[in-house]
């Protein structure tokens, strides 16, 4: 739990310029901890379920016209649920009042801690979304 709290507090900082003044806003990992842990558990369960279904039923045919695997489409779909364009003021409001991290930080947080992410997207170890050190609660 401490790993998740520290990671969100330190990894998610966004710089904005408001009225000519540059400010850095950051996620409060303690405030968002419960939701971050829930997201990590949910994405792991989704991947495990998809893997089990593929093993039991065999590989599904690829969707025509898409150059993504079923695992990639699954994660793209999970991320798309949080697709949002927010103003700096809205971002600041979310940070101060919501137990959820802002949408893009939330998605990056659960993706970067997913052990299979690097394999699924062929993402080199040590990059932002495939850090060498990941947080895991269970």
Each residue's pLDDT tens digit, 28-46: 999 999 999 999 999 999 9
CA-closest candidate to residue 102, choices 122, 121, 116, 88: 88
How confident is the model at residue 10, as a pLDDT? 93
Element (H, E) at 112: helix 103-112
CA distances from 85 to 3, 4, 20, 96, 133 (A): 28, 25, 21, 18, 29
Residue 19: pLDDT band by 50, 70, 90 thresholds?
confident
pLDDT digits (tens, 9 = 90+) for 113-135: 999 999 999 999 999 999 999 99
């Amino acid at each position: 739990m401490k790993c998740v709290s520290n990671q969100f507090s330190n990894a998610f900082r966004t710089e904005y310029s408001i009225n000519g003044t540059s400010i850095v806003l950051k996620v409060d990992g303690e405030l968002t901890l419960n939701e971050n842990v829930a997201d990590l558990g949910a994405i792991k369960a989704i991947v495990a379920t998809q893997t089990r279904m593929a093993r039991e039923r065999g590989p599904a045919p690829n969707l025509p016209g898409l150059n993504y695997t079923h695992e990639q489409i699954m994660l793209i779909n999970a991320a798309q649920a949080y697709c949002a364009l927010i103003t700096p003021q809205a971002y600041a409001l979310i940070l101060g009042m919501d137990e959820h991290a802002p949408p893009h930080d939330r998605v990056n947080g659960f993706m970067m801690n997913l052990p299979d992410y690097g394999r699924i997207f062929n993402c080199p170890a040590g990059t932002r979304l495939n850090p060498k050190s990941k947080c895991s609660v269970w």
